[in-house]
Amino acid sequence: MSEPANRPVALVLGASRGLGAALAEALGADSWQVVAVARTTGALEELDDRIRARGGPAATLAPMDVTTEDAMRALCRSVYDRWGRVDLWVHAAIHAAPLGPAGHIAARDWDRSIAVNIRATARLIPMVEPLLRAAPAGTALFLDDPCHGAPFHGAYGATKAAQIALARSWQAEGERLGPRVRIETPQPMPTATRARFRPGEDPATLTPCAEVAARLISRFG
């Protein structure tokens, strides 16, 4: 079966769980062509099953690490060759290092936080920007989590803040000619990361990822 030429294309990074997975599922169920990127193959396959169970098209699954530049560059080239554009880039890939005092953060946690949260973002922007420019209203979506300066959040808070600072610069640079960059701060959700950061919190007091995803998707219809 041929793919509808007018189906919008979403590139979702961090699509295996949490809000990234919820956004990918919601987009797919709304007939977007989803390119789902995450390191966990099984979780991506489960995502594809959920999308198709809701009547959406089969997702394109890309089990890879966003810090592997050659793989991400090849993926962007493949997306261009197949669709010629990306209508929405969801950057939900994040490394949440264990909480701990600033003076006791392990070097490996710093290195991974910088690699995923800052360097990968910086390298991906020039790869994805041409794909967004090729779309009628190409949009990049970043998800803020303003916890910088919070006790024990040194590695995560500092690198997440740096990622969003970079996104804000790109946003300001594209105000006239695009691409459009959106930065959203989702409501607290019952994700695995939040459970690790706030053990004992009642998940019933949090907003389900699917509900947050639906609200965000409604802005990109």
pLDDT tens per residue, range 126-170: 999 999 999 999 999 999 999 988 999 999 999 999 999 999 999
- Full-model pTM: 0.94
Query: What CA–CA distance (Å, rounded) separates 8 from 41?
Result: 24
34-62 confidence digits (pLDDT tens): 999 999 999 999 999 999 999 999 999 99
Query: What CA–CA distance (Å, rounded) separates 22 from 210?
Result: 5
Using left for φ > 0, alpha for ψ between -120 and 50, and beta otherwise, residue 211 falls in alpha
CATH number of 9-220: 3.40.50.720
Q: Where are the domains of the chain?
A: 9-220
85-136 confidence digits (pLDDT tens): 999 999 999 999 999 999 999 999 999 999 999 999 999 999 999 999 999 9
For the chain, report the end-to-end CA distance as a whole number of angstroms: 24
Each as own residue / partner, the long-range contacts of residues 204-212 (CB below 8 Å, 24 or more positions apart, any chain) are 209/18, 209/19, 209/21, 209/22, 210/22, 210/25, 210/26, 212/19, 212/22, 212/186, 212/187
